[in-house]
Amino acid sequence: MATSEAQRGGASQVDVAEFIDQQPVGGFQVKLLLTCAAVLFLDGFDTQAIGYVAPALAKEWGLTKGALGPVFSAGLFGLMIGALLFGPLADRIGRKKIIILSTLAFGIGALVTAFVNDLNTLLAIRFLTGLGLGGAMPNAVAMTSEFNPCRRRATMVMIMFCGFSVGAALGGLVAAALIPQFGWRSVFVVGGVAPLLLVPILALRLPESVRFLALTGRANERVAELLRLINPNAAFAPARQFVIDEPHLPGIPVVHLFREGRTLVTLLLWVVFFMSLLDLYFLSNWLPTVLNDLGSSVASSAAIGSMLQVGGVVGTFALGSIIDRFSFRALALVYFIAVFAVGAIGQLGHSVVFVTMAIFAAGFCVVGGQIAANALAAAFYPTSVRATGVGWALGIGRVGSIVGPLVGGMLLTMKWSAASVFMAAAGAAMCAALAAFWISRLAGMGGTGKSPEQAASYQAGLRPSTTAGA
């Protein structure tokens, strides 16, 4: 194999992607995964913190709960802008710098939130905090993807992304423990200090993406060091050159999402992300309210509703190897099952046991599917625009996360029944399923009117690995 020659020191060129694909997942990749998961853990904590402190904050400031709606929206809007902005920037200056900058930004933003005393200032700070939160996520996904072999890439990205879900869930426990003793501001002190303590660790321990460095062609010694961390037995000739078998794409990164056969897949990915996050935030925001209206107590509604996230964590671990093997075909099937699970919630609302099972299944498919979509988007785009592709997909998805709760509120205001509301939510899952299925069909057709070279490039991120069992 080409990499065996490189390891003996006899090759003048080493294909970095091919080298990584031939290695097992080792301790270095696991440490990197945990580091990126720590970033997303704190990202999840700070993203959800405002929701957990909202009742105490509203009481202290004498606000109605509805008055905090614009604050929630400002944070989500900041997340959207951050994803759209920092993805392309990372493709130009590197993943590591943007991850550190984003972590620093949302750490400072959370800490400043602890000292805010009026609603307008809170709204502005939550928007600025959202910029950092939105910038960290696509780059953590890209970084994890670029250090792992293709046969395990989706699994590793999905496990890493669990950091966000765990951080969001733990935020509720931390808030419950801190607020009665120290007030709501203490939650933001913790949420601000922790990322700021992580920043110097990231600066010292987080490597730059090895594929990004190889693509620049200006850091051969550092690339060699990183590849030896992946495989300590590797040896390279002094005159070797490290390359990526991908074109360097100059100019504005976003433009390249719509070139060389990527246009249709990009648009379909946006549909998947938009509909998936619409469904996820629709369910997250309105499940407790609808369950309470159907007769469950407030405590029971919250407990039953939490099964959405529990199902999501289980789904993330369960789906990793399946997504690695079957790619978008598996994703389409997952969202198709979500149609029935989400629709069943409204039909089974009067049975605690059955509605709990339906919510768990919905979380398994919708949350697990969304995290799988992150991994597949990272696999589809070339190194030059990977953070841009993931960032813009997440940015478009964030629009869905804003629309979802609004649609749910409108339907409930119009006196739709629970069954009808959740059937509407099931329609969003169906749209995601159809878009994912269409992408899987494109992988089989080889593109649309492209040259053989373009068609091969077009399918590279769509085709499931043939070495999945290796």
CB 101 within 8 A of CB 135: yes
- Domain identity same for 219 and 262: no
Does residue 343 share a domain with residue 235? no
Task: Based on the fold, state whether residues 234 and 299 are members of the same structural domain.
Answer: no
User: 230 in a domain, yes or no?
Assistant: yes
Place of tokens 């402190």: 53
212 and 291 in a single domain? The answer is: no
Q: Which of 194, 225, 243 is the last residue in one of the domains?
A: 243
Write out the chain's pLDDT in tens, 470 residues.
Answer: 344 444 444 457 888 888 999 999 999 999 999 999 999 999 988 888 887 787 788 888 888 756 777 888 888 889 999 999 998 999 889 999 999 999 999 999 999 999 999 989 999 999 999 999 999 999 999 999 999 998 888 899 999 988 988 888 787 778 888 888 998 899 999 999 999 999 999 999 999 999 988 888 777 889 899 999 999 988 887 777 888 777 677 777 888 888 888 899 999 999 999 999 999 888 877 777 677 667 766 556 666 777 887 888 888 888 888 888 888 999 999 999 999 999 998 888 677 788 889 999 999 999 999 999 998 998 888 888 888 999 999 999 989 988 888 888 788 778 888 888 889 999 999 999 999 999 998 876 544 334 333 444 444 455 554 433 33
Q: What is the pLDDT of residue 456?
A: 45
| Domain end point (choices 217, 243, 269) | 243
Residue 3 lies in a domain: no
Q: Which tokens sit at 141?
A: 């996904």
- Is 138 within the bounds of a domain? yes
What residues make up the domain containing 333? 253-460
Q: Is residue 106 included in any domain, yes or no?
A: yes
312 and 427 assigned to the same domain? yes
User: Are 161 and 259 part of one and the same domain?
Assistant: no
In a domain, 193, yes or no: yes
Number of structural domains the chain divides into = 2
What is the token pair recorded at 109?
Answer: 């933003």
Specify whether the CB–CB gap between 421 and 237 falls below 8 A.
no
The answer on 314 and 239 residing in a single domain is no
Q: What long-range pairs does 176-184 form, CB within 8 A, spacing at least 24?
A: 176/52, 179/53, 179/56, 183/56, 183/60, 184/53, 184/56, 184/57, 184/60
Residue 47 lies in a domain: yes
Element (H, E) at 87: helix 69-93
Q: What gap in Å lies between CA 74 and CA 333, rounded to an integer? A: 34
Q: Based on the fold, state whether residues 156 and 296 are members of the same structural domain.
A: no
Per the domain annotation, does 2 fall within a domain? Answer: no
CA 451 – CA 119 distance, rounded (Å)? 57
Residues 108 and 86 in one domain: yes
Answer with the one of 220, 243, 266 that is the final residue of a domain: 243
State how far the Cα of 168 lies from the Cα of 367, in Å rounded to an integer.
13
Do 351 and 265 reside in the same domain of the chain? yes
- Residue 348 CA to residue 419 CA, distance in Å, equals 9
CATH code, 122 = 1.20.1250.20
Q: How far is the C-alpha of 298 from the C-alpha of 301, rounded, in Å?
A: 5
pLDDT, residue 175, reads: 82
Same structural domain, 81 and 159: yes
Please give the pLDDT value at position 337: 96
Same domain, 146 and 295: no
Residue 433 identity (one-letter amino acid): A
Q: Say what the alpha-carbon torsion angle 292, 298, 299, 300 is, to the nearest 10 degrees.
A: -10
Question: Is residue 294 domain-resident?
Answer: yes
